[in-house]
Structure 1
């Protein structure tokens, strides 16, 4: 199985794989250029698909998605374009889904402790405080609990 069989890869990921196998840099560059030329390597397409999939499946924020793409060696301009497809509303909806799940999982836990847990979980997904609090309020409303005025 080759590196492109399981999922799409960035140019940087493939360059790292080739370097790890001892392929000379000039040969690796030619191979990568050819793969890019025939459309098997396309960092912009990779970033767009990665962003959509990870935002939907993992509920990651734009900030977290951008960090993942940077770690994969995607150019910062391409990263910015890809994550800009996630709107503010998309982020709040995803954060609210996560908050609802955390609130349900924490049934019976002290309200302030549960609030800290939910906000912490959203923070680890890359959401800032404003989005996290908005999502928490919306999640509580969705669950019929009202908003948490104790902390706001």
Structure 2
């Protein structure tokens, strides 16, 4: 039990983990199932393993650092073994406007590197970058229209 506790604590010093994720890592280290389950129950009691806290922290981190969409974060939390209802509860806080704002931030950054390319090529590259982050086609088209049109001069847009 003591060895399993040391293994789990070492894993948790790197970053928080969901219960299922930590269980998988303990299994990979050869920790017996009964010892693993007892240890995880104890860690939940004392707050070292908390899937709700993990889901909220993971969502904030992935959206701020990687600019991932709600859908992409959902997939990541599912692979980490977080309960579907808990994922829904955590992601309910993200509305359409915040998705558009995050996608716009990402698109503006990408625009700086592709704005000199032909318009179709720039659009394609930016759309691909946003799609890889999990944004829907409706968000992508809305954001790209706004970002690309805001950089055009009055002669190009016909507003002179």
Q: What TM-score do you get using the length of structure 1 for normalisation?
A: 0.90
Structure 2 segments unaligned to the other structure (5+ residues): 1-8
Q: Distance in 2 between matches of 1:107 and 1:10?
A: 41
Matched, 1:70 2:78: yes
Q: Distance in 2 between matches of 1:76 and 1:70?
A: 7
Q: Distance in 2 between matches of 1:49 and 1:95?
A: 20
**Aligned counterpart in structure 1 of residue 89 of structure 2, from 69, 78, 81:** 81
Paired residue for 2:114?
A: 106
Paired residue for 2:37?
A: 29
Q: Distance in 2 between matches of 1:107 and 1:26?
A: 58
8 Å CA contact 1:123, 1:132 repeated in 2: yes
Q: Which has the larger radius of gyration?
A: 2
Paired residue for 1:12?
A: 20
Matched, 1:55 2:95: no
Q: Distance in 1 between matches of 2:52 and 2:149?
A: 38
Q: In structure 2, the residue corresponding to 1:114 is in which secondary structure?
A: helix
Provide the aligned C-alpha RMSD in A. Answer: 1.9
Structure 1 segments unaligned to the other structure (5+ residues): none
Q: Quote the offset at 1:46 in angstroms.
A: 0.4
Q: Distance in 2 between matches of 1:142 and 1:9?
A: 42
Q: How many residues align?
A: 148
